[in-house]
Amino acid sequence: MIEIGALVWLAVCSWFDWKKRLAPNWLTLPAVALALGLRSCGQAQGDGVMALGIVVLVVGGWLAHILGGADLKVTVAMALLDPRLAIWAWLGMIGWYLAVRLVTIGYKEKGPYRLPGMVGFAAGVSFLLMWIYVR
């Protein structure tokens, strides 16, 4: 059930990211706090050590200026809820980026692309939900 709530939240984040190229703090920070609360109460899913590893990895990416703040907050929230969410979200992001690159092969403009990353995150979590509930 946590995955469905995360997908709905990511859909809202995706809409903001698509329209304004940002995911506002009022949408991401409460999700991080909720996820941290659920993890500390034992209500989150997945391995806590893996969640901590993902959090450390994305914080390092943010400190190295590889990731943006919204990517950091959304990934941390998903990793704390269930590490699978974060992993599949990033797989979706990679797929989204590669699909855009593939579609734009013939175009003269070759990037850098400023893609709404939350769309890729939502796609990845959608694939996870299909994997969990359809198989």
Other Cβ atoms within 10 Å of 74 Cβ, number: 28
Q: Across residues 99-115, what is the average pLDDT?
A: 74
String of DSSP letters for 55-83: HHHHHHHHHTTSS-HHHHHHHHHHHHH-H
The pTM of the full predicted model, rounded to 2 decimals, is: 0.89
* Tens-place pLDDT, residues 37-90: 999 999 899 999 999 999 999 999 999 999 889 999 999 999 999 999 999 999
Q: Which residue has the higher pLDDT, 105 or 27?
A: 27
Helix axes 48-63, 69-81, angle to 10 degrees: 180
What pLDDT score does 112 carry? 64
What pLDDT score does 109 carry? 65
Which of 53, 101, 19 lies closest to 11, judged by CA? Answer: 19
Question: Sorting pLDDT into bands at 50, 70 and 90, what band is 3?
Answer: confident
Radius of gyration of the chain (CA): 15
Average pLDDT of the residues of the chain: 91
> Judging by beta carbons within 10 Å of its beta carbon (0-12, 13-18, 19+), is residue 55 exposed, middle or buried?
buried
Q: Across residues 95-121, what is the average pLDDT?
A: 80
Residue 91 tokens read as 């797989």
What pLDDT score does 115 carry? 81
Q: How many domains does the chain have?
A: 1
Q: Are the C-beta atoms of 38 and 6 separated by less than 8 Å? A: no
What pLDDT score does 111 carry? 62
* Tens-place pLDDT, residues 115-130: 888 999 999 999 999 9
Q: Residue 12 belongs to what domain range?
A: 2-134
What pLDDT score does 28 carry? 95
